[in-house]
């Protein structure tokens, strides 16, 4: 099952109107909302049963959109992002401007960034120009969902839109910490996931 242009447009409308959507990413099914809407973020967290103090990621559906929204990213880090994204990574970046504070939890100096690799089944999402606050579409602490049917029924019913992109790989994104990369070249894997350490090392050194 593949998404179409109408699905991408409906997704963008829901996000723009402070709604919450279930959608397929390149890893597992996720929840998305406007990262700048306190009401939308609160609702997304309540659907998951996620503590409000826990950070989430901000997802852009194009790498160019992400880099344009974060002009303070230094040249060394930008080169790394160009090589690594899009992909099944959540990249932790230094956030000196405090952007997307609602996604940052208690640490506004750190931003989690996602740019998914759009497979043919979800390629239509490449037309979405809005960033979204993104978290996995499962009750906090429960297994990730690789099909829409596996998303908890209460989450599916509680969301304003649920998009079916078929079966997904099911392994969550690798969390890569690049906060110290610009000045010292230091990086670490904060959570193992879909992208292996050796693949990161081949790019980052």
Which residues have CB under 8 Å from 202's CB, separation 6+? none
> Do residues 20 and 43 lie in contact, with contact meaning Cβ atoms separated by under 8 Å?
yes
Mean pLDDT of all residues in 173-185:
97
Q: How far is CA 199 from CA 33, 67, 205, in A?
A: 31, 22, 10
Contacts 24+ apart (CB under 8 A), 38-43: 38/102, 40/15, 40/133, 41/102, 41/103, 41/133
What pLDDT sits at residue 120? 97
What pLDDT sits at residue 41? 98
For residues 106 and 167, give the distance between their C-alpha atoms in angstroms, rounded to a whole number: 34
Mind listing the pLDDT tens digit for each residue in 93-117?
999 999 999 999 999 999 999 999 9
Mean pLDDT of all residues in 158-171:
98
Mean pLDDT of all residues in 49-66:
96
Q: Where are the domains of the chain?
A: 5-204
What pLDDT sits at residue 22? 98
Q: Is the pLDDT of residue 33 over 90?
A: yes
For residues 35 and 16, give the distance between their C-alpha atoms in angstroms, rounded to a whole number: 10
> Do residues 162 and 21 lie in contact, with contact meaning Cβ atoms separated by under 8 Å?
yes
What pLDDT sits at residue 185? 97
pLDDT above 90: percentage of residues in the chain = 99
> Do residues 166 and 40 lie in contact, with contact meaning Cβ atoms separated by under 8 Å?
no
Q: Is the pLDDT of residue 43 over 90?
A: yes
Strand order in the sheet with 21-24: 161-162, 21-24, 29-33, 132-136, 57-59, 110-114, 89-94, 174-177, 188-191
Residue with tokens 């002009």: 71
Mind listing the pLDDT tens digit for each residue in 10-30?
999 999 999 999 999 999 999
State the pLDDT confidence band at 175, using cuts at 50, 70 and 90. Answer: very high
Mind listing the pLDDT tens digit for each residue in 69-92?
999 999 999 999 999 999 999 999
State the pLDDT confidence band at 52, using cuts at 50, 70 and 90. Answer: confident
Instruction: Give 130-182 as a 3 state SS string.
Output: CCEEEEECCCCCCCCCCCCCCCCHHHHHHCCEECCCCCCCCCCCEEEECCCHH
Provide the CATH number for the domain formed by 5-204 in this structure: 3.90.870.10
Q: Is the pLDDT of residue 131 over 90?
A: yes
Q: Is the pLDDT of residue 57 over 90?
A: yes
What pLDDT sits at residue 50? 93
DSSP, res 123:
G
For residues 91 and 93, give the distance between their C-alpha atoms in angstroms, rounded to a whole number: 6
Using a 10 angstrom Cβ sphere, with 0-12 exposed, 13-18 middle and 19 or more buried, the burial of residue 189 is: middle
What pLDDT sits at residue 1? 84
For residues 183 and 186, give the distance between their C-alpha atoms in angstroms, rounded to a whole number: 8
Determine how β-strand 21-24 pairs with β-strand 29-33: antiparallel
């Amino acid at each position: 099952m593949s998404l179409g242009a109408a699905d991408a447009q409906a997704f963008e409308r829901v996000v723009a109107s402070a709604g919450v959507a279930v959608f397929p990413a390149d890893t597992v099914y996720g929840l998305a909302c406007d990262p700048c809407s306190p009401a939308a973020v609160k609702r997304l967290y309540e659907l998951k049963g996620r503590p409000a103090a826990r950070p989430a990621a901000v997802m852009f559906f194009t790498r160019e959109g992400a880099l344009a929204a974060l002009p303070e990213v230094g040249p060394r880090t930008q080169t790394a992002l160009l090589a690594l994204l899009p992909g099944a990574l959540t990249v932790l970046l230094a956030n000196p401007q405090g952007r997307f504070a609602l996604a940052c939890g208690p640490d506004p100096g750190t931003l989690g960034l996602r740019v998914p690799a759009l497979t043919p089944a979800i390629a239509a999402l490449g037309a979405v120009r809005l960033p979204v606050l993104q978290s996995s579409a499962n009750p906090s602490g429960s297994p990730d969902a690789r099909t829409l049917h596996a998303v908890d029924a209460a989450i599916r019913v509680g969301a304003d839109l649920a998009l079916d992109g078929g079966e997904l790989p099911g392994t969550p994104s690798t969390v890569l910490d690049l906060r110290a990369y610009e000045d010292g070249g230091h990086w670490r894997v904060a959570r193992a996931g879909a992208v292996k350490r050796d693949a990161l090392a081949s790019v980052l050194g």
